[in-house]
Structure 1
Amino acid sequence: MHSGRKVTAMNMDADSRKTFFFTGGSKDIPCVRKKREKGKIVASLEEAFRLAEVRDGMTVSFHHHLRDGDLVVNMALDVLADMGIRDLVLAPSALFPVHESLLRHVRSGVIRSIEGSVNGPVGRAASEGLFPSPVILRSHGGRVRAMQADELHVDVAVLAAPAADAMGNLSGISGPSACGSLGYAFTDAQYADRVIAVTDNLVPYPAVPFSIPQTLVDWVVPVESIGVPEKIVSGTLRVTRDPLRLIIAEQVAKVVEESGLFTSGFSMQAGAGGISLAASAFIRERMKAAGIRGSFISGGITGQSVEMLEEGLFESLLDVQSFDLEAVASLASNRGHAEMSASFYANTASKGCVVDMLDVAVLGATQVDTDFNVNVNTESDGVLLHGIGGHMDTAAGAAVTVVVTPLFRGRMPMVVDRVLTVTTPGETVDVVVTERGVAVNPRRKDLLENLRGKGIPLMEIGDLKKMAEEFTGIPKTPSFGEKIIGIVEYRDGTVIDTIRQRL
């Protein structure tokens, strides 16, 4: 074969070609024939972590589709702690109150820092200065971009899988811990160096239909339970019955109706909170009355979204997270109900994301200021209690972004001179709706013209702030120290704000 010319498959005889392909092209690489092992199942998380060669200082990621019913994060961190692993960076798509027990692993040195959304007790602990390094907060789209750019490099991803087969095909639509879409887990599966699936529902191969394919999964670990079903999803979420919040919801529907976008083919996203659900219900009735058929609803999908699809009011649902049992069942059975990844949903560095196709987004807030900046991370006392979610992503992409908030909660005004934390910049917010008035961003003169004279109580944002203070008084500004405990990244990776330790 060594004739002085380049050896290729085309200039060999049949026997030589056979030898070449069996040996990989070299006599020094023997062809090893052995029975193929059927599957990637390992006996325990500890075994999987050892196979993944987890070491001190690595970054480990998780997804949050099991929400407050998740058992996998705490389970995995307990195993890593028992293995003597230290100085980890935790990269969850979100954390919930159920994850409060991980704080002991922060205190013991198992966890050094968190790059991901935090909710409740973990955020409060960060505000108190527990973490040696600041929590880095990213939106759903920003998290994907950071992984794609290797700014957030994940060494090992641990994926909770409501259904899995022996080769690692994963699905969220069946099993005792069914959660529906696995949209946020796609990112971890795609970009992590090693991927471990943890399941309480091992199904025969192939697990069709699957969300995450076997080509992205290294090991499968069967366990007794990955989640508490009643805390993952719990029937259809409730539309608010509070009269003041119903006023907000009805004003939102009026704004949408008169926005100039309320025509056949329009698209929207609304959250799963009580006001957003009520607003969707009012929009639903207006669509029926006007004979309008929309194109899609995106984001987190609820039972109400499913009903609007089945009534023919929308052509499709694009689901990055299923919020209730109706949504889980629909994803399994409705052809117009599609699962999407977080990148497809909101990644600004992708070749095109869904938020850029949105006509209307209805979003909540913990504070709004007179420049239309929105805070969704810290409460009025300055404590970090919430993640970003898709807030800044949808606000940037939608043609009209509507932020809903009561004028005040308790004795705290929700419209202020300056928000404590800027999560979503005012330049991407078009309308603020409260129970006592609606403010349109001065940038949107076109929208203001559409809404004027339509029975909508239009006001200046500064007048809403003054009205709120008439009810609450001017609150005392919280006290903060010098230590930065949180960094808020905009969806393009720039720092939009920092959060300081609450004194």
Structure 2
Amino acid sequence: MKNSIGREIPEEIIKDKGLFQGAFAHNERIIKAATKVKAVKPGEEKLLQSLEEAINKCNLKDGMTISFHHHFREGDYILNKVVDIIAAMGIKNLTLASSSLSGVHSPLIEHIKNGVITKITTSGLRGELAEEISKGLMKEPVIIRSHGGRARAIEAGDIKIDVAFLGAPSCDEYGNASGTGGKANCGSLGYAKIDAEYADKVIIITDCLVDFPNMPASISQEKVDYVVKVEEIGNPSGIVSGATRYTKNPKELLIAEYASKVITKSPYFKEGFSLQTGTGGSTLAVSRFIREEMIKSNVKASFALGGITKPMIEMHEEGLIKNIFDVQDFDLTAVESISKNSMHHEIDASFYANPHNKGCIANKLDVVVLSALEIDKDFNVNVMTGSDGVLRGASGGHCDTAACAKLTVIVSPLVRGRIPCVVDSVNTVITPGESIDVLVTEIGIAINPRRKDLMEIYKNGDIPVYTIEELYEKSISIVGTPDKIEYEDEVIAVVEYRDGSIIDVVRKVK
């Protein structure tokens, strides 16, 4: 069966999820899931001696669902440690509902082979684990959800978490946990907060036990069942992922300059505007170009949103951005800011981008700048699979913020290495073309034909304007038309749109 963007979805995959029919087609009222709560009486202690004891007390059994957050990214020590212990205890057939998975989580391969983990839902997959899953490691397809889509699924009960294992840089003996105040600080615990709210059992794992009360708390005591102190929860240097880098590449700087001009010449660049930028080389540089124009034009932003980086903090501390709404920190400058700047607000993933609550903050975005692995002639964007069809990315907040912002800008080189980035049809659709307004490359921009208002604005400016078809032809003229990837019928991953409908599937590469 085909969805509204023409993607073939096997009927057995659809089940009760429904096909993607448009960015806001599914907006029915949902009933929030309820959690099981066991009262803690005065004098009862939550602090336990080991993870094994905590797992036993949570009564974890075969077939249950466990969750983790990814705020430590490549520096995470929690997930592998916990799953190793669970495997040693003989528990099997678990669903892993991590907010994202990274290269550091390759030890999961053996636990999948041994039947400890049999289902996975996540936003991202990278490294050896992603490669093995792409080759057909799992019997059940992985479910890929955006950050807002994951929050929606948890609140709706589509993901029912039995036990959440949440690493916290500091915590007191009663469960007040924070992303700062320890030796492995990660800043915002925005993805962990939603797990703590809806999981039946919550275990906080920390390597820095502090005096009660540990305030202000990212996760407060009434959400927490048990606390376990371990030697190390993570390496804070792993927070700064490969995607978080400051570019000196002339091509990326030119893309950033064009993108900043697109934004500052738009009707949305005005006093009190709001913005989100990403973490790639070009997107980070956009923030710096916008800063210069904000100072020159005496324009200040009401808020910046999303995964927070050093440029945003610098603009905030200069008075150029009034509020920071922070679901995740991408560098240590952002981590440090959250505990010292009063207008730097820690938010959970539902507040950030859940499409089915009573108003996520993404709804108030004026401008968002996002990257792409590929974009096609219909403006559909892929940030999940590489040019070889292998999983190597993350849905993240891409489709969430693209759908909500008044101006969605994609920054991408025309060609990456010897691979075209503007293609006839992307391998995997994460964000539908209807949500994209402008593509910015190093040779110029393409405007979605839906946005005739923007075409009028930029037609006589100093930014070269092309059609998306012209950019496609230019990319092909440089590197040629790549051979089509050959796939088998087996579906190894199902891509949910933020509303829970199926926007695409990823098949096993031949």
Q: TM-score, normalised by structure 2?
A: 0.91
Change (3 A) 1:291 1:236: farther
- In structure 1, the residue matched to 2:189 is 182
- In structure 2, the residue matched to 1:81 is 87
The letter for the 1-side match of 2:444 is: G
- In structure 2, the residue matched to 1:485 is 492
Distance 1:237 1:393 in 2: 20
Change (3 A) 1:384 1:214: same
Distance 1:295 1:451 in 2: 25
Contact 2:258-2:440 within 8 A present in 1 as well: yes
Q: 2:477 aligns with which of 451, 462, 470?
A: 470
- In structure 2, the residue matched to 1:226 is 233
Contact 1:121-1:385 within 8 A present in 2 as well: no
- In structure 2, the residue matched to 1:113 is 119
SS of equivalent residue, structure 2 residue 209: coil
1:451 offset after TM fit, Å?
1.5
Contact 2:62-2:93 within 8 A present in 1 as well: yes
The letter for the 1-side match of 2:470 is: D
Q: 2:77 aligns with which of 71, 76, 80?
A: 71
1:234 offset after TM fit, Å?
8.2
Work out whether 1:98 is the aligned partner of 2:104. yes
The letter for the 2-side match of 1:347 is: N
The letter for the 2-side match of 1:221 is: V
* CA offset digits 1:436-465 (Å, max 9, x no partner): 120000000011111221111110000000
1:262 offset after TM fit, Å?
0.8
Contact 2:141-2:493 within 8 A present in 1 as well: yes
Work out whether 1:41 is the aligned partner of 2:35. no
Work out whether 1:209 is the aligned partner of 2:191. no
Work out whether 1:59 is the aligned partner of 2:65. yes
Work out whether 1:291 is the aligned partner of 2:285. no
Contact 1:235-1:324 within 8 A present in 2 as well: no
Identical positions, percent: 51
* CA offset digits 1:112-133 (Å, max 9, x no partner): 0111122222221111000110
Change (3 A) 1:315 1:422: same
- In structure 2, the residue matched to 1:279 is 286
1:329 offset after TM fit, Å?
1.1
1:179 offset after TM fit, Å?
0.2
User: 5 Å matches for 1:344-493?
Assistant: 344-493=351-500
* CA offset digits 1:455-502 (Å, max 9, x no partner): 111100000000000110000011110100000000000000000001
Q: TM-score, normalised by structure 1?
A: 0.92
User: 5 Å matches for 1:23-38?
Assistant: 36-37=42-43
SS of equivalent residue, structure 1 residue 403: strand
The letter for the 2-side match of 1:412 is: I
Contact 2:74-2:241 within 8 A present in 1 as well: no
Change (3 A) 1:235 1:476: closer
The letter for the 2-side match of 1:68 is: E
Contact 2:243-2:281 within 8 A present in 1 as well: no
- In structure 2, the residue matched to 1:27 is none
Change (3 A) 1:315 1:227: same
Work out whether 1:331 is the aligned partner of 2:338. yes
Contact 2:243-2:279 within 8 A present in 1 as well: no
Q: 2:163 aligns with which of 156, 159, 163?
A: 156
Q: 1:172 aligns with which of 172, 176, 179?
A: 179
1:413 offset after TM fit, Å?
0.5
Distance 2:314 2:239 in 1: 21
Work out whether 1:498 is the aligned partner of 2:505. yes
Distance 1:319 1:228 in 2: 21
- In structure 2, the residue matched to 1:133 is 140
Contact 2:78-2:234 within 8 A present in 1 as well: yes
Distance 2:203 2:89 in 1: 17
* Number of residue pairs the alignment of both structures matches: 470
1:36 offset after TM fit, Å?
3.7
Distance 1:238 1:415 in 2: 23
1:298 offset after TM fit, Å?
0.3
Distance 1:74 1:237 in 2: 24
* CA offset digits 1:325-373 (Å, max 9, x no partner): 1111110000111101000000011111111100000001010000000
Distance 1:190 1:256 in 2: 37
Distance 2:151 2:243 in 1: 29
SS of equivalent residue, structure 2 residue 122: coil
Indicate the RMSD between aligned Cα atoms, in angstroms.
1.4
Contact 1:246-1:278 within 8 A present in 2 as well: yes
Structure number with bigger Rg: 1
Query: Where in structure 1 are there 5+ consecutive unaligned residues?
Result: 1-33
The letter for the 2-side match of 1:351 is: K
Distance 2:494 2:309 in 1: 31
Contact 2:68-2:99 within 8 A present in 1 as well: yes
- In structure 1, the residue matched to 2:5 is none
